[in-house]
Structure 1
Amino acid sequence: MTANETKKEQTCTENCSTCAPAQPHSAPKGLPPKAKIDVKHVILVLSGKGGVGKSTVSVNLAYALANHGKKVGLLDLDFHGPNIPKMLGIEDQRPTVLANTIEPVHVTGNLSVMSMAFLLPDTSTPVVWRGPMKMGAIQQFLAEVNWGALNYLVVDLPPGTGDEALTIAQLAPNVRGAVIVTTPQDVAVMDAIKAAKFIEKLELPVLGVIENMSGMVCPHCGGTINLFSTGGGKKAAGDLGVPFLGAIPLDPEMVKASDEGRPYILRHADSPTAKAVDEVMEHLVELIESDLK
């Protein structure tokens, strides 16, 4: 609905005495059909709360999959805080539009990205949308983007259990399940469990839990400091009866890499954190492919 249509609807509601008699609303006809997109596996990446490094995990997970020869799409559905392009150093690029098809931004031959950030005038422009607007955008990002044939579509979702997660789960084809990202602290784990329960209500599997910022890699000695403690994610996975995909230690270089738009695993492939990301990716692929046998 355009701004003019919204204003017209509001005006009509406020001056209903001058309008034609209201007609009874027809019964809801249900959701649109699943989007026609050639993808084998859609992976949702959720967190119960913000600040746990969910987008960082999404970026590095997508890159790790692409580096292992998989055709990967990375869909940024955090409309109010679309940070994926910044983390990949492509925030100044714009998708091209041919006829009615949107060409995503190609990071490598195996990795393509779509984000609301590409469509905003500048990085400070807020997105002030209600649910129906978000649903329309998600439909477009699925059906009208030329993703090509994908092995994986990694979907980075905003924190919590709102419209974006519900809509993508209902509209995307071949949703294999969700990965829940948490940090070790009890308050983060508590919200991560809520996100897992939300996924279960949608009758989708929780593919596993990732414990991010699980200790910190010391930049001087290379040892691990338990900055935020450890073990909360593994315990949550055990309580939920879902796989624990692994623990990713915090590395100050990862923060620097995200700010500079250079994926961490490309610059620090031999670091404990990069190896942990790779192990998480391998564990996830193994779970998905073994489930299909």
Structure 2
Amino acid sequence: MSSSSAPENANVGCVGPASQEAGKSSACAGCPNQTTCASGAFNSPEAIAKKQHEASVLQNALSDVSHVVLVLSGKGGVGKSTVSTQIAQSLSSRGYSVGLLDVDICGPSIPRMAGVIGQTVHQSAQGWQPVYANPNLAVMSISFLLEEGDAAVVWRGPRKNGLIKQFLTETDWGDDGLDYLIVDTPPGTSDEHISIVQYLNDARPMMVNGSNNSGASGAIVVTTPEEMSMADVRKELNFCKKTDVPVLGIVENMSGLQVKVSDLQFRRDDASDCTDDVIALLREKCPEVLSMTASTDVFATSGLGPKGMAERFKCPYLGKLPLDKNLLKACEEGSSFVENYPESPAASPLNKIVDSLILALPVEDDIDDVAMEGSGDDT
């Protein structure tokens, strides 16, 4: 989006209603606002005043948020919510103040993964009070607003966009604000993505984003290594390019299955279980094998895989996150994976992803600490 004043349901690449090309540009083709933009209605004094007021509200609401990180993927089922939740859990366990916002309106899964399913949010004078998974981790999701957990959300785009704006403007993240706001998004490059990028762009003047031109501090893009997933993820990377959202890196999720040999199950040709016998034999003959990790590829890697895709799009490659039963278990438990299962195969890769995020988007206290270390007296 080249203009933050674009209508909420504008096409990607909107030139903005104030442009001389409004309603005429090739980017306007098929946009529901094409006729209105061409008429100049969006550029009236009343429309401009309304837009400025909305931008002011967004700026005030997000003024105490240091960094907003979008977790994206063009493909469903690649683990965006798992990555979002566990990054948030890991950051909070390191002492950062973290918000976890679920904008997957039709398929909210964050509350279960964060261990706050069945909770409700409350309205106060300051706005919606999010649900706290731990003292450092606040969670907001449409799931908290539904009377029944299994209720279907059958909403058109404008209503979903309106709720996302409410999440951004009416959630009270606390008096001290947030170091990181992690936003879990639905698959694709649809209304929710366009809206949240536009809202963040409106809030950009009050946000800490370095030198990029987007209200979002950056995006972590999640993929699995096969072509069916990467084909959709390439569209997401192009979306980030068109909307000026910096890509913090690509995570190659579910990259093989890794299991401690001692946790494997063994079966004979007739499918009968022989795990105890095999483990006993290994313990007797070669006990060192029991502490090793067995691995196998689950998805066939296409071409140069996600790492090659990252090189092609000139963005960081954050590494491989293997399938790990303890990672899945942590999400079912609603717990912090790296805290509860520090020796599990995926713990080290996940910690490295979080390290990369903190390095790319340091908060003020981190910058101050580095400055103080650098000014120390060596004499």
- Interval of TM-score (by shorter of Structure 1 and Structure 2): 0.7 to 0.9
Shift of 1:129: 1.2
Structure of larger gyration radius: 2
Shift of 1:26: 7.0
Unaligned runs of 5+ in 1: 1-24
Task: State whether residues 87 and 263 of structure 1, in contact with CA within 8 Å, keep that contact through their aligned partners in structure 2.
Answer: no
Count of equivalent residues? 268
Query: In structure 2, what is the Cα distance between the partners aligned to 1:248 and 1:85?
Result: 22
Shift of 1:100: 5.6
* 1:84-103 to 2 correspondences below 5 Å: 84-99=110-125, 101-103=127-129
TM-score, with structure 2 as normaliser: 0.67
Counterpart for residue 39 of structure 1: 65
TM-score, with structure 1 as normaliser: 0.86
State whether structure 2 residue 41 is matched by structure 1 residue 27: yes
Counterpart for residue 299 of structure 2: 228
- Aligned match of 1:48 in 71, 74, 78? 74
- Aligned match of 2:99 in 46, 59, 73? 73
Counterpart for residue 288 of structure 1: 361
SS in 1 for 2:183: strand
Shift of 1:272: 2.1
SS in 2 for 1:153: strand
Counterpart for residue 344 of structure 2: 271
Query: In structure 1, what is the Cα distance between the partners aligned to 2:337 and 2:134?
Result: 15
* 1:156-171 to 2 correspondences below 5 Å: 156-171=184-199
Task: Point out the more displaced range, 209-218 or 248-257.
Answer: 248-257
Shift of 1:78: 0.3
Shift of 1:224: 2.0
Task: State whether residues 126 and 172 of structure 2, in contact with CA within 8 Å, keep that contact through their aligned partners in structure 1.
Answer: no
After superposition, give the CA deviation of every residue in 1:104-144 in whole Å (9 maximum; x if it has no partner). 00111111000000111112111111121112111111111
Q: Choose between structure 1 and 2 for higher RCO, CA contacts under 8 A separated by at least 6 residues.
A: 1
Task: State whether residues 87 and 261 of structure 1, in contact with CA within 8 Å, keep that contact through their aligned partners in structure 2.
Answer: yes
Task: State whether residues 118 and 149 of structure 2, in contact with CA within 8 Å, keep that contact through their aligned partners in structure 1.
Answer: no
Query: In structure 1, what is the Cα distance between the partners aligned to 2:321 and 2:114?
Result: 19
After superposition, give the CA deviation of every residue in 1:211-232 in whole Å (9 maximum; x if it has no partner). 1001111243522211114562
- Aligned match of 1:82 in 108, 122, 125? 108
SS in 2 for 1:168: helix
Counterpart for residue 372 of structure 2: none
Higher strand share: 1
Counterpart for residue 104 of structure 1: 130
Query: In structure 2, what is the Cα distance between the partners aligned to 1:215 and 1:55?
Result: 19
